[in-house]
Copies of this chain bind each other. A is one copy, B any other.
């Protein structure tokens, strides 16, 4: 009953369709000479940044691959469950994972850059054309990410079978995504905050005005941060979720001799790809209307088709429906998180309006209120996820004491959630594309009606962006939980004891577990701190540079002299590359140090401490940031004095504070909590045998 060929087929179709759609988009015209000029500047900046980022990472990645090949593959596989083996499974799959992840990020960035200018040009022809171009760009990305991840894992499975052998693939993806998120996030927000604070606030010129020296850096940042970072992030979440589910399927496969437990996650992925393709075809805007329903309809169609497919596949493979219920829970979680995000971040609802109202009493009260709302918005999603875990566990059979089934059920819920990432990414990537199209229209001095079209599309993009951000955080938290279970399972297997025996030792009352938990919380805060600090430094440098250019370059304000864009691009690039080092080192070293010094139980505590604190902090930062942003937008609609009122000035401060929260530190926590789990899984074998301070 081998069904994994379905996954191979689906991933190849996804990639082929992505290529075809890309060709269609590329065939469209780029527009006027000035537009091509702006496009070239952005393309150069983005390519230059990504290639420097990847070059910096390359040496490091190769070094890690060698370490894995020697320490992990040779060192413990030789004495572990695989019998003597000198083949560098982990090292090799790690390299491939890193490569795929980098490729995903690079392609995402290229597609976005090409689509930005073409969407701006298409907006000349009206809403429908512009939506079609931008959504196609998003779709290329969505299909690429999902196709690459599913293809990679399925190929490894075809040749190597045991998912532990290619866990390196997931970690390679995580690591590149981690750096892409951190670096891209620092880049985009250093540029954005710097550009806004001097341009909009001090000099009073509009956003994306070509007189602002930081405007090209800002546009580059949108592509390398919001798009390339997000693409690499979704790729890795999908990949580690698949591998996590297979790792937890492994003991069931061994016990029940049923390969369906290994292939089921792959099949879910394949079904969701087919559903995504049909769903994407339904996205078509009518001229003049609100495009939101069309876009949401694409997601709904995909989800419904996927659920039907999951139902059939589950029955076909297992002749029982327990695991289908777990999968269903995954889809329900997506819907609930979307509703909660909308409530906490849209200015149609009271929380965001209250932030706008508070702005009347100045920036401080605006920020206090935004912090309060951000803190609050962490609770209900955490509740949904917590109940989801228990539900998926119990429905899959965990209630009857089948611990392995319960854990596998949790992993399946996450996989079901992630399986529809293709359509979600399409919708998410569409946002920055239209945003940038608007920027290009402004910079190239196009007819204002073009900006009107992109503004309508952009407003929709803001809603969908908040939705997908919660999706990313929620799925990251759940994926990390299933990785944590996989880690425990590996520890049990290396110790040669049953999972039940292991869990009986992994008690909350152990001092080493408590140590790990406390450190886990502290590490997440430290990681977020590094990200925020890098943005503060970069933005500080950017502010000074833009102030300097405004002062020293004569005629810049009258549009007679050209600002020195390259200098600002350089500041953002250097800040981002320097800023990646500390948080990256923290993520890689902390599990290794804690694991080898205090042992596998302390490390388990650290992992869950990271998940608990990371989930809450990431939710708070993402939602708080989006709410500040939308509170400002609400005031711009005319509330509380409208634009140029003191309330608006106060709201701009809140928006700026929220920027690095929602676009740098918050999203970087997602790959962080998964990377820290993946590295623990890979080192599990070594950690079990070499501990400095082993507690009984």
Residues of A within 8 A of B (CB): 193, 197, 201, 357-358, 360-365, 367-369, 371-376, 378-383, 385-387, 389-390, 393-394, 398-399, 401, 403, 406-407, 410, 477, 481, 484-485, 488, 499, 502-526, 528-530, 532-533, 535-536, 539-540, 543-544, 598, 604-605, 608-609, 611-613, 615-616, 620, 653, 656-657, 660-661, 695-696
Contact check, A379 vs B613: say whether CB atoms are below 8 A apart.
no
Contact check, A390 vs B504: say whether CB atoms are below 8 A apart.
no
Contact check, A503 vs B508: say whether CB atoms are below 8 A apart.
yes
A409 CB to nearest B CB, Å: 9
Specify which chain B residues have a CB less than 8 angstroms from the CB of A362 in the assembled complex.
197, 201, 543, 653
A538 CB to nearest B CB, Å: 10
Given contacts A386-B518, A403-B509, A507-B507, 7 further A-B contacts (CB under 8 A): A193-B364, A193-B368, A373-B529, A386-B519, A394-B511, A481-B514, A517-B612
Of the candidates B368, B510, B516, which one forms a contact with A660 in the assembled complex, judged by CB atoms under 8 Å apart? B368
Specify which chain B residues have a CB less than 8 angstroms from the CB of A612 in the assembled complex.
517-518, 520-521, 609, 612-613
Contact check, B368 vs A514: say whether CB atoms are below 8 A apart.
no
Known: A519-B382, A522-B383, A615-B521. A503 touches B510 (CB 8 A): yes
Closest residue of B by beta carbon distance from A409 = B511
Specify which chain B residues have a CB less than 8 angstroms from the CB of A393 in the assembled complex.
511
Contact check, B653 vs A511: say whether CB atoms are below 8 A apart.
no
Specify which chain B residues have a CB less than 8 angstroms from the CB of A373 in the assembled complex.
529, 533
Specify which chain B residues have a CB less than 8 angstroms from the CB of A387 in the assembled complex.
515
A327 CB to nearest B CB, Å: 17
Contact check, B522 vs A382: say whether CB atoms are below 8 A apart.
yes
Contact check, A539 vs B361: say whether CB atoms are below 8 A apart.
yes
Contact check, B363 vs A511: say whether CB atoms are below 8 A apart.
no
Closest residue of B by beta carbon distance from A539 = B365
Contact check, A536 vs B481: say whether CB atoms are below 8 A apart.
no
Complex CA–CA separation, A653 to B653 (angstroms) = 10
Q: Is the interface of A mostly helix, strand, loop or mixed?
A: helix
A372 CB to nearest B CB, Å: 4
Specify which chain B residues have a CB less than 8 angstroms from the CB of A530 in the assembled complex.
372, 376
A547 CB to nearest B CB, Å: 9
Known: A383-B522, A508-B608. A401 touches B696 (CB 8 A): yes
Closest 7 pairs between A and B when the two form their complex, measured CB to CB: A382-B522, A504-B504, A372-B532, A375-B529, A503-B507, A364-B656, A376-B529
A408 CB to nearest B CB, Å: 12
Closest residue of B by beta carbon distance from A652 = B364
Contact check, B488 vs A508: say whether CB atoms are below 8 A apart.
yes
| Contacts A/B (CB < 8 Å), 12 sampled | A193-B364, A197-B361, A376-B533, A378-B525, A382-B521, A386-B514, A386-B515, A407-B509, A504-B504, A517-B608, A521-B616, A613-B613
Specify which chain B residues have a CB less than 8 angstroms from the CB of A519 in the assembled complex.
382-383, 386
A158 CB to nearest B CB, Å: 31
Complex CA–CA separation, A536 to B530 (angstroms) = 28
Contact check, B509 vs A507: say whether CB atoms are below 8 A apart.
no
Specify which chain B residues have a CB less than 8 angstroms from the CB of A535 in the assembled complex.
368
Closest residue of B by beta carbon distance from A605 = B508
Contact check, A390 vs B525: say whether CB atoms are below 8 A apart.
no
Closest residue of B by beta carbon distance from A523 = B379
Contact check, A525 vs B616: say whether CB atoms are below 8 A apart.
yes
Complex CA–CA separation, A512 to B382 (angstroms) = 14
A8 CB to nearest B CB, Å: 33
Complex CA–CA separation, A592 to B677 (angstroms) = 32
Contact check, B193 vs A526: say whether CB atoms are below 8 A apart.
no
Complex CA–CA separation, A526 to B376 (angstroms) = 5
Complex CA–CA separation, A209 to B186 (angstroms) = 44
A337 CB to nearest B CB, Å: 13
Specify which chain B residues have a CB less than 8 angstroms from the CB of A365 in the assembled complex.
193, 197, 536, 539-540, 543, 656
Contact check, A616 vs B522: say whether CB atoms are below 8 A apart.
yes
A358 CB to nearest B CB, Å: 6
Contact check, B504 vs A499: say whether CB atoms are below 8 A apart.
no
A411 CB to nearest B CB, Å: 12
Complex CA–CA separation, A144 to B201 (angstroms) = 54
Contact check, A511 vs B364: say whether CB atoms are below 8 A apart.
no
Closest residue of B by beta carbon distance from A594 = B386
Complex CA–CA separation, A60 to B397 (angstroms) = 43
Specify which chain B residues have a CB less than 8 angstroms from the CB of A368 in the assembled complex.
193, 532, 535-536, 539, 656-657, 660
Specify which chain B residues have a CB less than 8 angstroms from the CB of A406 in the assembled complex.
511
Closest residue of B by beta carbon distance from A616 = B521
Specify which chain B residues have a CB less than 8 angstroms from the CB of A604 in the assembled complex.
508
A131 CB to nearest B CB, Å: 34
Complex CA–CA separation, A604 to B604 (angstroms) = 17
A531 CB to nearest B CB, Å: 8
A494 CB to nearest B CB, Å: 16
Known: A386-B519, A406-B511, A407-B509. A525 touches B376 (CB 8 A): yes
Complex CA–CA separation, A609 to B608 (angstroms) = 10
Closest residue of B by beta carbon distance from A364 = B656
A308 CB to nearest B CB, Å: 28
Complex CA–CA separation, A522 to B523 (angstroms) = 18
Known: A539-B368, A613-B612. A389 touches B503 (CB 8 A): no
Complex CA–CA separation, A588 to B484 (angstroms) = 31
Contact check, A508 vs B511: say whether CB atoms are below 8 A apart.
no
Contact check, B367 vs A657: say whether CB atoms are below 8 A apart.
yes
Known: A376-B529, A507-B507, A511-B394. A540 touches B361 (CB 8 A): yes
Specify which chain B residues have a CB less than 8 angstroms from the CB of A696 in the assembled complex.
399, 401
Closest residue of B by beta carbon distance from A609 = B612
A601 CB to nearest B CB, Å: 9
Contact check, A608 vs B382: say whether CB atoms are below 8 A apart.
no
Specify which chain B residues have a CB less than 8 angstroms from the CB of A484 in the assembled complex.
508
Complex CA–CA separation, A44 to B691 (angstroms) = 63
Complex CA–CA separation, A505 to B513 (angstroms) = 14
Contact check, B615 vs A616: say whether CB atoms are below 8 A apart.
no
A190 CB to nearest B CB, Å: 11
Closest residue of B by beta carbon distance from A406 = B511
Specify which chain B residues have a CB less than 8 angstroms from the CB of A394 in the assembled complex.
511
Known: A507-B503, A532-B371, A536-B365. A514 touches B382 (CB 8 A): no
